[in-house]
Chain A
């Protein structure tokens, strides 16, 4: 079985720009979550998607938005980038009801300059 794949691996953007990060879920998984991991910190929950709808959100502003597609892949969009958005963004997929059986991707390292 394939794991969770994220693209791109690294990305540099300018403050004020918009960015889209992509995630392919593990085969058979139907739920995807996104986490932000700032340098020296633990991952923080951004939101989760299930059946193409947002299914829980952390303490992140509306300029962080997402999509889940019928094939369960997902996108994280961030508008009006700020320097503090520089972080590792992790995607994790699971099968709903599979009690925290999440598989994490290797992440996208976003640098905002």
Chain B
């Protein structure tokens, strides 16, 4: 069965520091992988997605993620975090039918000055 694990419930980083959020997935076929961000009281905003091809994908707001098939991972990175990046981050797997996401439980990011 498809599933997504985000092992870090909460992460705190200093503004300007680098960031890596971990995501591991379980999926039988080639996965469609996503990272979403959710600010308080807001819906989900897509940061980036991976379907195929280059395993390093660039997204919005300076985020990138790397797909590693051997490790079943799709970790999100940002070289320098801004205070406005504080939010909840969700990793998701999409079925290749195109109609259902499986989300992880999320990682809450706090940015300290």
Interface size class of B (residues with CB under 8 A): 20 to 34
Q: Which residues of A contact B32 (CB under 8 A)?
A: 99-100
**B6-36 CB contact bits vs A (8 Å, 1 = yes)?**
0000000000000000000000000010101
Dominant secondary structure of chain B at its interface with chain A: strand
In B27-67, the 8 Å CB interface with A consists of 32, 34, 36, 41-46, 49, 51
Q: Which chain B residue shows the least CB distance to A44?
A: B103
**Contact for A43 among B49, B98, B99, B101, CB less than 8 A:** B101
Q: Which chain A residue shows the least CB distance to B91?
A: A42
Q: Is B97 an interface residue (CB 8 A)?
A: yes
> B100 touching A99 by the CB < 8 A rule?
no
Q: Which of A13-21, A68-76, A79-87, A103-111 contacts B (4 or more CB under 8 A)?
A: A103-111
Q: Which residues of A contact B104 (CB under 8 A)?
A: 42
Q: Which residues of A contact B75 (CB under 8 A)?
A: none
Q: Which residues of B contact A2 (CB under 8 A)?
A: none
Q: Is A90 an interface residue (CB 8 A)?
A: yes
> B43 touching A42 by the CB < 8 A rule?
no
**Contact for B44 among A31, A96, A104, CB less than 8 A:** A104
Q: Which residues of B contact A107 (CB under 8 A)?
A: 43
Q: A42-B104, A43-B101, A92-B44 are in contact. List 17 more A-B contacts (CB 8 A).
A: A41-B105, A41-B106, A42-B90, A42-B92, A42-B103, A42-B105, A43-B44, A44-B103, A48-B99, A58-B100, A90-B44, A97-B98, A99-B51, A102-B46, A104-B44, A104-B45, A106-B42
The 5 closest A-B pairs by CB, nearest first: A42-B103, A104-B43, A104-B44, A106-B43, A56-B99
Residues on A lying within 8 angstroms of B by beta carbon are: 4, 31, 33, 35, 40-45, 48, 55-56, 58, 90, 92, 96-97, 99-100, 102, 104-107
| A-B pairs with beta carbons under 8 Å apart, 7 shown | A42-B103, A43-B44, A43-B101, A99-B32, A100-B49, A100-B98, A106-B42
